[in-house]
Amino acid sequence: MQAKKLTLLQTVAAAGVFSAVSCWYGFMFGRESARRELGGIIDDLRSSSTTPPAESPDSHAPSKP
């Protein structure tokens, strides 16, 4: 049986495909996670819009130039 050898070009191409697929899945997972998180924040803001907004503790601090 003859051992199959990968050329440098095949190795680089396989690494490139793997990297592209990994980046795509990471991007889509991060996007979905951010969408869920932002959706929760937006819902919180919508529900609190009927009540007056509380002042943040930093609002009284002098601004730094």
pTM greater than 0.85: no
User: Does the structure show a pLDDT above 90 at 2?
Assistant: no
Q: How far, rounded to the nearest angstrom, does the alpha carbon of residue 65 sit from its chain's CA centroid?
A: 32
Domain containing 34: what range? 10-47
Evaluate whether residue 53 is within a structural domain. Answer: no
Split at pLDDT 50, 70, 90, the class of 12 is very high
18 in a domain, yes or no? yes
Domains in the chain, number? 1
Using the predicted structure, report yes or no on whether residue 53 has a pLDDT greater than 70: no
Please tell me the distance from the alpha carbon of residue 19 to that of residue 34, in angstroms, as a whole number. Answer: 22
Mean pLDDT, rounded, for 56-65:
54
Q: Report CA-CA distances (Å) from 41 to 19, 35, 47, 48.
A: 32, 10, 10, 11
